[in-house]
Amino acid sequence: MKTRLLANGLEVSSMGLGCMGMSEFYGQRNDKESLEVLARAVDLGITLFDSADMYGPHHNEELLGSFLRATTAPVKIASKFGINRKPGQYARSIDNTPEYATPVP
């Protein structure tokens, strides 16, 4: 797998894996199958996964967290945040305040 060096010096695979569909939007989610896809992506050399806290909401990042706890693969996560959406609704609002961006301990 070819890699790319990002402007901040981070090296990632040229291809990434978008994980949105693992949590919603394209039918019922299947965590077991999604974890198998993540493992296969790593086997193929993919080191960049794309997520967002609104996917699920929060399910996608939780799914990726469970995968990362079970692997030593050098995976990087690109996660968008600040887009608020209530479960089952598509109306969105933006919250880019420092309080929202601060991780929960």
State yes or no: is 26 an active-site residue. no
pLDDT digits (tens, 9 = 90+) for 84-94: 887 777 788 89
Q: Which pTM does this prediction carry?
A: 0.85
Residue 30 lies in a domain: yes
User: Whole domain around residue 61: which residue ranges?
Assistant: 26-80
Residue 45 lies in a domain: yes
Tokens 């965590």 belong to 31
Residue 11 lies in a domain: no
More confident residue, 103 or 92: 92
Residue 16 lies in a domain: no
pLDDT digits (tens, 9 = 90+) for 6-65: 999 999 999 999 999 999 888 899 999 999 999 999 999 999 999 998 888 889 999 999
Q: Count up the domains in the chain and report the number.
A: 1
Residue 96 lies in a domain: no
Q: Which of 26, 55, 90, 100 is catalytic?
A: 55
